Chains A and B, each alone.
Chain A
Amino acid sequence: MMDFIQTLGRNTRGSFTKLGRATFFLVQTITGIIEILPRPRLLLKQLYSVGVLSFLIISISGLFVGMVLGLQGFYILSDFGAEETLGVMVAASLVRELGPVVSALLFAGRAGSALTAEIGLMKATEQLSGMEMMAVDPIKRIISPRFLAGVISMPLLAALFSAIGIIGGQIVGSGLLGVDEGAYWSQMQAKIDFQDDIINGVIKSLVFGFVTSWIALFEGYDAIPTSEGVSRATTRTVVNSAFSILGLDFILTALMFGDD
């Protein structure tokens, strides 16, 4: 019994300490961003590995998610004779929820895990301490550009995901199943609001990009510098990112789309 209480206390204290370290880390990272702005090449390289390399998986998943929405939506809506509102259904579900959430989950799996593994390995091979020896701050040189790249890439990827998904829904809906193409677009334009839907979707994806990059970089930076430690940190990145994305999505949805 005493053991149990001791473990509980140690774990609770451990997780609070970790949260404190993570917050401190975040503040350092954000202040570091100001210093890398005069050196855009650092950022460009990370935009490539975080954004461009996630492009393919995001666009292909977006296409298929949109096509599935078109198919399922058509089957359900045709029961009510409301196939014309297929465009609204596909666009609203993509722009409000699926676009930001699914692309953030894919982003955490594709780019977040890579970031954690990269930084964890840098730590394990003592590259980070090597930098400190040369009076280079590894947070500014390594972490900040990656963080900024993640925050910039995420809304772009989510917008692409939604746009490609809506086109995919149109391909299936009006190309295969015979929903009127004009109705698909005009109903969508009548019902989707720029402020309420598009802007809120972009805000969501910005938040997800921020949180996912933070978790991925911190887990890498905080990893136990062994091969096992790095592998655990990578797993934690994906699991924690998924939890935070889905939890935050609920909170953001409740805040944004509450009174309508």
Chain B
Amino acid sequence: MQHSNTQDTLVGLFVAAGIAGLFFLALQVSNLSSFTEQKGYTITARFENSGGLKVKSPVSAAGVKIGQVSDISFDPKTYESVVKMRINAQYNSIPDDTTASIFTAGLLGEQYVSLEPGGSSEHLKQNSNIEITQSAIILEKAIGQFLFKSAEEKK
């Protein structure tokens, strides 16, 4: 009986350790902790070119993450990229003349939407539109322009 008891304990410990490992993977390693569906509102911005922006890319203001991109689609009428963003509910006082720009984190990092607040007293609400947008900087285009320019100067 004694032997069987220690065996039970060891099996219990083993199962507990395994489940602890799974929890560790879920909470510490993956994005589950930031994945929890927070209350928020969705805003839309239209970009001429959204570059390498992806669904789940971060949306930040003053360098702080305040939401994430929830949907990207192409508008066949205006030929623009329509980016829907979900902003956490606690940030509910963003002016409605805010500018949205697409930046790259570091030289090779992922792209994100940066919001630069304007001065209006009206706030962004559910389904608001951001009017002023700045497209992603396409590195190939920038290099092309730079090369073209320096070639012109040489002439």
| Chain B residue at smallest Cβ distance from A41 | B4
In chain B, residues 30-54, which have Cβ atoms closer than 8 Å to a Cβ of chain A? Answer: 30-35
Q: Which of B14, B26, B30 contacts A156 (CB 8 A)?
A: B14
Query: Total number of A-B contacts with CB less than 8 angstroms?
Result: 84
Instruction: Knowing A51-B14, A52-B14, say if A159 contacts B7 (CB, 8 Å).
Output: no
Stretch at the interface among A5-13, A42-50, A138-146, A213-221: A42-50
Stretch at the interface among A26-34, A128-136, A183-191, A240-248: A183-191
User: Bound state CA distance, A9 and B21, in angstroms?
Assistant: 49
What residues of A have a CB within 8 angstroms of the CB of B34 in the complex? 189
Instruction: Knowing A159-B25, A198-B26, say if A192 contacts B31 (CB, 8 Å).
Output: yes
User: Bound state CA distance, A47 and B8, in angstroms?
Assistant: 10
A25 interface hit (Cβ, 8 Å): no
User: Bound state CA distance, A102 and B68, in angstroms?
Assistant: 36
Is A48's CB under 8 angstroms from B7's CB? yes
CB distance from A170 to the nearest CB of B (A): 10
| Chain B residue at smallest Cβ distance from A159 | B21
Instruction: Knowing A55-B17, A190-B31, say if A47 contacts B25 (CB, 8 Å).
Output: no
What residues of B have a CB within 8 angstroms of the CB of A189 in the complex? 28-31, 33-34
User: Bound state CA distance, A194 and B19, in angstroms?
Assistant: 15
User: Bound state CA distance, A107 and B57, in angstroms?
Assistant: 39
B61 interface hit (Cβ, 8 Å): no
Instruction: Knowing A44-B11, A51-B11, A52-B10, say if A159 contacts B31 (CB, 8 Å).
Output: no
Query: Which residues in B have some Cβ–Cβ distance to A below 8 Å?
Result: 7-8, 10-11, 13-15, 17-22, 24-26, 28-35
Extra pairs beyond A91-B29, A162-B29 (18, CB < 8 Å) = A48-B10, A51-B14, A51-B15, A52-B14, A156-B18, A159-B21, A159-B22, A163-B21, A163-B24, A166-B29, A185-B28, A188-B29, A191-B31, A192-B31, A193-B30, A194-B32, A194-B35, A198-B32
Provide a sorted-by-A list of 22 A–B residue pairs whose CB atoms are within 8 angstroms.
Answer: A44-B8, A48-B7, A48-B11, A51-B18, A52-B10, A52-B13, A155-B22, A159-B22, A160-B18, A160-B21, A162-B21, A162-B29, A166-B25, A189-B29, A189-B30, A192-B29, A192-B31, A194-B32, A197-B30, A198-B25, A201-B25, A202-B22
